Amino acid sequence: MTDVATVHSLWTMAAGAEDKIPAPHIEYGQLSPTLIVLAAAVLGVLVEAFLPRRSRYYAQLMLTVVGLAAAFAAVIGLAAGGYGTEKAHIAAMGAIAVDGPALFLQGTILLVSLVAVFTFAERRLDPAAHGNRVDSFAAQAASVPGSESERAAVKAGFTTTEVFPIVLFAVAGMLVFPAANDLLTLFIALEVFSLPLYVLCALARRQRLLSQEAAVKYFLLGAFSSAFLLFGIALLYGYAGTVTYAGIADVVDGTVKTVDPALAGTMGNDALLLIGGAMVLMGLLFKVGAVPFHMWTPDVYQGAPTPVTGFMAAATKVAGFGALLRLLYVVLPGLRWDWRPVMWGVAIVTMLIGAIVAVTQTDVKRLLAYSSIAHAGFILAGVIAVTPDGVSSVLFYLAAYSFVTLGAFAVVTLVRDAGGEATALAKWAGLGRRSPLVAAVFAVFLLAFAGIPLTSGFAGKFAVFKAAAEGGAGALVVVGVLSSAIAAFFYIRVIVLMFFSEPTPEGPTVAVPSALTSTAIAAGVVVTIALGVAPQYFLDLAGQAGTFIR
Amino acid sequence: MNPVNYLYLAALLFTIGAAGVLIRRNAIVVFMCVELMLNACNLAFVAFSRLHGNLDGQIIAFFTMVVAAAEVVVGLAIIVTIFRSRHSASVDDASLLKL
């Protein structure tokens, strides 16, 4: 017996008094916007599993709209409770920041997704198939396009109502992304919102080959870029010994109180910091579609179902720039002499390439994609300012831009011919004579993109360029104005094409949408005009929200 | 063994993965190369964790594994659907979306 005991004790030992593992302290109230959206998404999955097919659409739509609206109400509640200003702090054991920029961007993302969900749910644009109203999504995503199983699915009236919970998961990731206060949360949030988007891209009802191709490209490039982001995180962790933003910022600034001897070796290693920071920046710049990481944008925007494109173009940009701002302003302000020249270059190339290549485009969705690249450049000009005005101008620009984008893509879903949406620009000739209202609404969005006064685009651009000029980036402003002029050329060209050229006989028709898409477009127009005519209230709001917590 | 050597190995694996993504044509192989890059990140996290004597890096490695698994689910689903409709998983064949 004693022998056994000795042998046994070689690899075990008596259990001592267990150390208590303290439960993490989570401020559920302050995380409620994200939690509400996640709960709605989980419920949506259950609805998909247990409800009969015919009642799923209405149940999902209700659930999604209520979930997003409740989350928005929670954001408003938090902001009214002072969490955006004096009560701003870091929740969930340092993982999530609850502060002005986070709440402002979360509110924007929620409103944008709420409007985008209306375009997702639209069922009047496509002609009814076998007596069933259909939306823009495939009857059954798993069936091969043109196959027997697809025909059977269409005939049975299947619809992909899964898109609603998928969108909710994406929105939840986007809510966390600009609020993430450590690099691990940043990475997880990035994946949580990217993976649903990859799936959504592949679900188009019409032209599914294009849609699947867009999904593959987006997925492979997105996974590639997130691997870079992750390696950057690993290097920053190696540099600082922690992944919290404040911890890394302390090491960058050299204000750490007690230096661990194990850390001393890597802390002085600037190679880790510079390469790691650059790789994390690359991952974020990919998500916002800045040159030279923009190659996926036109293909994915063109191939994805148009409601998804609108959602992606608007909401991803808001979330991505939010995370970029927090990274640059909270983690790496001590490194700004290193990152500012790089970001200068990126901003200049982004503005110029976006505007110049857009001139040559012949497809409306690709045109809007390149215009979104140019706009990413304009927003970067505000990011570079490194002043409180820089932050608030970027916040304002994102809110203004996202509604214009959403509205513009919603209009694109209306112009259709026999093959679905008629996105070739040539087919849009004379649209203004055929349906003046739709063309006029699209013209408003194009003018807002171009930054014509009395639209939100002007107010946003003015704020961003003013902040950039005051932040000492005068040359950037000159390039920005120049590329705005180039961009204005092709926006105006589309307007001229719509109103002053003869309609072709076999041109597209404009579908009459249901109240859903009409609401989305109306919301886009109202926000565009409101932010353009009376921007001051919203600029003040963004100004109040412009301070990061650390 | 000096843990720094593991960092060199991680960097090497990451580079091999990145080169593979850029060079290989089969979408599945490209995807495998991305997974190799993620695993290189894991190795770097664990090596730094050992170097610093704190556990953050090891925890992050677990998160990365879960993310990689989720990515496999979505990625294979997308690649398999495109393979079934085109009978090819070559990323060069997927070229309908052009200017």
Tell me which residue in B31, B44, B53 faces A231 most closely, judged by beta carbons. Answer: B44
Task: List the helix and strand counts (H, then E) for chain A.
Answer: 23, 5
Alpha helices in A305-425 (DSSP H): 306-311, 317-326, 336-359, 364-384, 388-412
Cβ–Cβ of A231/B64 closer than 8 Å? no
A184 near B CB under 8 A: yes
A521's tokens: 């477009």
Tell me which residue in A195, A216, A223 faces B34 most closely, judged by beta carbons. Answer: A223
What is the predicted pLDDT for the residue at A404?
97
| CB A92 within 8 Å of CB A24 | yes
What average pLDDT score do residues A456-469 get?
95
Residues of A in contact with B34 (CB under 8 A): 220, 223-224, 227
What is the predicted pLDDT for the residue at A263?
72
Reduced to 3 states, what is the DSSP secondary structure of residue A435?
coil
pLDDT at residue A267 tops 80: no
Residues of A in contact with B38 (CB under 8 A): 227, 230
Cβ–Cβ of B81/A220 closer than 8 Å? no
Question: What's the CATH class of domain B4-86?
Answer: mainly alpha
What is the predicted pLDDT for the residue at A4?
47
Cβ–Cβ of A187/B79 closer than 8 Å? no
Confidence of residue A11 (pLDDT cuts 50, 70, 90): low
What average pLDDT score do residues A366-379 get?
96
Exposed/middle/buried for A346, CB within 10 Å: 0-12, 13-18, 19+? buried
Annotated domain spans of chain B? 4-86
Reduced to 3 states, what is the DSSP secondary structure of residue A422?
coil
pLDDT at residue A5 tops 70: no
B84 near A CB under 8 A: yes
- Please report, for residues A130, A537, B66, the alpha-carbon distance to residue A453 in angstroms, rounded to integers and kept in the order given: 48, 17, 49
| CB A306 within 8 Å of CB A406 | no
Q: Which of A231, A282, A296, A300 to mutate to test the interface with B (most CBs of B within 10 A)?
A: A231
Q: Which of A183, A221, A230 to mutate to test the interface with B (most CBs of B within 10 A)?
A: A230
Q: How far apart are CA A336 and CA A459, in angstroms?
A: 27
B55 near A CB under 8 A: no
Closest-approach residue (CA) in chain A for B93 = A213
Q: Which of B8, B54, B96 to mutate to test the interface with A (most CBs of A within 10 A)?
A: B96
Q: Which of A186, A195, A212 to mutate to test the interface with B (most CBs of B within 10 A)?
A: A212
Half-sphere exposure of A212 (CA within 13 A, CB side): 28
Closest-approach residue (CA) in chain A for B18 = A224
What is the predicted pLDDT for the residue at A268?
67
pLDDT at residue B13 tops 60: yes
Q: How far apart are CA A415 and CA A421, in angstroms?
A: 6
Confidence of residue B93 (pLDDT cuts 50, 70, 90): confident
A464's tokens: 């961003």
Cβ-Cβ pairs closer than 8 A, A with B, add up to 138
Q: Which of A147, A218, A219, A263 to mutate to test the interface with B (most CBs of B within 10 A)?
A: A219
pLDDT at residue A2 tops 50: no
pLDDT at residue B99 tops 60: no
Q: What is the pLDDT of residues A303-333, one digit of tens each?
A: 999 999 999 999 999 999 999 999 999 999 9
Closest-approach residue (CA) in chain B for A364 = B99
Cβ–Cβ of A212/B97 closer than 8 Å? no
A156's tokens: 């049975």
Confidence of residue A206 (pLDDT cuts 50, 70, 90): confident
B39 near A CB under 8 A: no
Cβ–Cβ of A202/B84 closer than 8 Å? no
What average pLDDT score do residues B21-30 get?
94
Q: Determine the distance in angstroms separating the CA of A524 from the nearest CA of chain B, rounded to an integer.
A: 28
DSSP tag of A207: S
| Cβ neighbours for A181, distance < 8 A, ≥ 6 positions apart | A90, A94, A95, A96, A97, A244, A245, A246, A326, A330
Reduced to 3 states, what is the DSSP secondary structure of residue A408?
helix
What average pLDDT score do residues A99-120 get?
96
pLDDT at residue A532 tops 70: yes
Residues of B in contact with A24 (CB under 8 A): none
Q: What is the pLDDT of residues A49-85, one digit of tens each?
A: 999 988 999 999 999 999 999 999 999 999 999 998 8
Paired residues of A424 in beta bridges: A363
| Cβ neighbours for A190, distance < 8 A, ≥ 6 positions apart | A173, A177, A226, A229, A283, A287, A323
Closest-approach residue (CA) in chain A for B60 = A184
Confidence of residue A428 (pLDDT cuts 50, 70, 90): very high
Confidence of residue A278 (pLDDT cuts 50, 70, 90): very high
B92's tokens: 């060069």
B80 near A CB under 8 A: no
Percent of chain A with pLDDT over 70: 96
Residues of B in contact with A160 (CB under 8 A): none
Confidence of residue B87 (pLDDT cuts 50, 70, 90): confident
Paired residues of A510 in beta bridges: A415
What is the predicted pLDDT for the residue at A9?
53
Q: What is the pLDDT of residues A467-484, one digit of tens each?
A: 999 988 889 999 999 999
